[in-house]
Chain A
């Protein structure tokens, strides 16, 4: 039994609040080569996949949880889902709360499904659900 199998349903404390800004939105849109005007101007929204940047901050809690013995460098991003209540906007102050939804272990590998709730002003903005494929070095 891997330690993470006993953590199914567990939620980590929310991340420190992150303030979404116009320059960061523009920088991220530029990195996607995306000239959509919605990402520019006075009141931009963020590209939908910007949510992954905030969700990744919550992943750090998982990798910092020592008994789980998970390492980012031994992890493959297997799939990704976003469900949006509304777009992220400049000015949003966002926290990310990660919950371990599901774990399937086979030998030294595990499919780990985590969902990250992104909330601004107490309102759910997005749920980012990821399946991570982790490989441990040992064969236990």
Chain B
């Protein structure tokens, strides 16, 4: 359990690295009901000018928040969450898929609410922009 009394601006949250594979995209499609074919068919992805299948933005957003909820334990502490989908996450067909690393850092504390800035890196490219979560610490 995180000791919130020690949290300060600059506190780094433990990073999370995931390998998103085609199987993960199919699983997320089923669980979310988002069956846009660009997430499971290279044919339809290429028809839109992509090189191949890309991850659901909401899968990337949902996975990124694990940095915060792994840290604070109780997801009910999350008061708000914002991301801009800056770059698509191409998911090649293979055992490794796309390797995405998420990291978080406390940027503000006010009235027992910590603002956490989240970075999402595919290689050295940021796939989310302005990603922030507000977490109640009280």
Contact B83 A79 (CB under 8 A): yes
A32 CB contacts on chain B under 8 angstroms: 28, 59, 62-63, 66
Min Cβ gap A10→B in Å is: 24
Given contacts A27-B31, A30-B27, A30-B31, contact A84 B63 (CB under 8 A): no
Query: Could you list which residues of chain B lie within 8 angstroms of chain A, going by C-beta atoms?
Result: 18, 24, 27-28, 30-34, 36, 57-59, 61-63, 65-66, 69-70, 73-76, 78-85, 130
Closest 7 CB pairs of A and B: A31-B31, A49-B62, A79-B84, A81-B82, A87-B76, A31-B28, A32-B62
Query: Could you list which residues of chain A lie within 8 angstroms of chain B, going by C-beta atoms?
Result: 27-28, 30-34, 36, 38-39, 45, 47-49, 52-53, 56, 72-73, 76-84, 86-87
Min Cβ gap A121→B in Å is: 17
B59 CB contacts on chain A under 8 angstroms: 31-32
Contact B28 A49 (CB under 8 A): no
